[in-house]
Amino acid sequence: MKVIVIGAGVMGLSTAWGLARNGHHVEIFEQAALPNPQASSMDEHRLIRHPYGDHAGYARMIDPAFAAWDLLWSDLGRKLYAATGTLALTGNGADWAERSALTLAAIGRPMTELTLSELRRRFPQLNAGGVERAFWLDTGGVLFAQDIVTALARYLANQSHVRLRADMQIRTVDLDLGRVTANDGTVHEADMVVVAAGAWVGRLLPMGQRLLPSRQIVIYFRLPEDQRAVWAKGPMIIEKTGDVGLYFVPPMEGRGFKVGDHEFSRTGDPDGGREAREEEIAPLIERCRGLFKGFDSWTTDRLKVCFYTVTDDERFVVEKTGAKGWVMSPCSGHGFKFGALMGLELARTIASNRDPLQHARWAAGLEGE
Ligand SMILES: Cc1cc2nc3c(=O)[nH]c(=O)nc-3n(C[C@H](O)[C@H](O)[C@H](O)COP(=O)(O)OP(=O)(O)OC[C@H]3O[C@@H](n4cnc5c(N)ncnc54)[C@H](O)[C@@H]3O)c2cc1C
């Protein structure tokens, strides 16, 4: 079977990997350099964690997601992941951590609740201003995202039945005929076409308001020497003590030290300017001040603008479209952790003719909810 994949982010590359492992021919088209530094998958890290609020379907997918990453490490010959454990904090009326703990207890992966004094003892680097409840889980960690994408692209380039085409933008797709037209006018055909175009998907297919590009900003901090060692051991923190959820990525294995929020902007053009303004990050800075000890001695190393592709309910869209096409958009700001799994499973469904509706339901995290 021959499959065309549009987009060489983690989703497109993982699908190509899943297909190539089973001997299928794949041609991947990427509109820019491969990998594209502007892709959502191209940041130093992305988090993987079990706590998922009420979303039991996604919480259940985390173990298979870890298994899929393990398979990838074995194919790549290197592990691009560091375990940190997961610390979930809530306060100010928010109850995401409690709801996550309930969901995880129901599926046999209970979190441990820490008293506030235990929290201060175990994590002396936190001020924990506004924290009312704290939950800990030993699992979870940091995926070295851009290194994964780069290594996967290199691995695929060495597979005889995979063709990678950088700087080749697909202009039109016909998902009934399995046909695409590139910016140089050439027409390419396959048994199946997978559109994994990230925040650019609306340029190729009429997605309306269903999948919206959402401009997001993260801050990389520089820490004073005396605070680096303690943070280099983690933990990952998911903090919901205000209106906006905040996540914190510790500087594992020499990578950066990052904070972002999970408030969707629901605006922005992925081809537009990528500069962030100081006022855009002011609320985030204020939250950090309350949470971290010694924060006033931290300095901003750099800001990064990156795009989510969001749905209203934050569920993934992986759907058969036309006789010979799939739209693959597992994002809403939480897709990377499932990249290897989403790729392997879509490859399996395409190659073995599994029920597309069931696949879409599974990818939307609806199984077991
Ligand atoms: C700030 C931020 C923090 C995040 N944190 C987390 C996290 O902690 N945990 C987590 O699990 N997820 C997280 N995510 C989400 C995750 O990064 C994304 O869900 C995932 O990377 C999406 O991958 P993708 O392959 O769909 O898209 P992309 O990586 O954007 O890849 C799409 C590719 O398609 C190419 N393309 C587009 N149109 C065309 C065309 N017409 N022709 C050819 N090529 C085309 C693009 O150039 C691009 O390279 C975060 C995202 C952001 C932005």
For domain 2-44+146-209+313-363, the question of CATH label 2.60.120.340 is answered with no
Architecture of the domain made up of 84-140+211-310: 2-Layer Sandwich (3.30)
**Greatest CA span in the chain, whole angstroms?**
65
Which atom of ligand 1 has the smallest separation from the CA of 39?
A: 30
Which segment of 34-43, 205-214, 238-247, 256-265 scores lowest on mean pLDDT? 238-247
Question: Cβ(104)–Cβ(110) under 8 Å?
Answer: yes
Sheet with 187-189, edge to edge strand ranges:
170-174, 179-182, 187-189
Any ligand 1 atom below 6 A from CB of 29: yes
- pTM, two decimals, is 0.97
Residue 287 pLDDT grade (very low, low, confident, very high; cuts 50, 70, 90): confident
> Could you tell me the distance, in angstroms and rounded to a whole number, from the CA of residue 269 to the centre of ligand 1?
14
pLDDT value for 326: 98
Residue ranges matching CATH 3.30.9.10 in the chain: 84-140+211-310
Q: How many Å apart are CA 173 and CA 206, to the nearest integer?
A: 11
pLDDT value for 353: 85
Q: How many Å apart are CA 149 and CA 61, to the nearest integer?
A: 21
Q: Which of 333, 330, 303 is nearest to 317 (CA)?
A: 330
Per-residue b or e along 26-35, where b marks 16 or more CB atoms closer than 10 Å to that residue's CB: bbbbbbeebb
φ, ψ for residue 74, nearest 5 deg: -70, -35
Residues sharing a CB contact under 8 Å with residue 33, sequence separation 6 or more, in sequence order: 166, 167
Which atom of ligand 1 has the smallest separation from the CA of 13?
A: 25
Any ligand 1 atom below 6 A from CB of 58: no
Structure confidence by residue, pLDDT tens digits, 177-201? 999 999 999 999 999 999 999 999 9
3-state SS class at 354: coil
Beta strands in the chain (DSSP E): 2-6, 25-29, 46-48, 81-83, 86-90, 112-114, 133-137, 141-143, 162-165, 170-174, 179-182, 187-189, 192-195, 212-222, 236-240, 246-249, 258-261, 299-310, 317-320, 325-329
Residue 301 pLDDT grade (very low, low, confident, very high; cuts 50, 70, 90): very high
pLDDT at residue 243 is higher than 90: no
Residue 53, by phi and psi: left (phi above 0), alpha (psi -120 to 50) or beta?
left
| Average pLDDT over the chain, rounded to an integer | 95
Any ligand 1 atom below 6 A from CB of 214: no
Residue ranges matching CATH 3.50.50.60 in the chain: 2-44+146-209+313-363
Any ligand 1 atom below 6 A from CB of 235: no
Q: Over range 15-32, report the average pLDDT.
A: 98
User: Which tokens hold the place of 273?
Assistant: 């300017």
Structure confidence by residue, pLDDT tens digits, 344-356? 999 999 999 899 9
Structure confidence by residue, pLDDT tens digits, 61-98? 999 999 999 999 999 999 999 999 999 999 988 899 99
The secondary element (H helix, E strand) that includes residue 284 is helix 278-291
DSSP 89-121: EE-TT--HHHHHHHHHHHTT-PPEEEPHHHHHH
Residue with structure tokens 């994949």? 5
> Could you tell me the distance, in angstroms and rounded to a whole number, from the CA of residue 238 to the centre of ligand 1?
21
pLDDT at residue 275 is higher than 80: yes
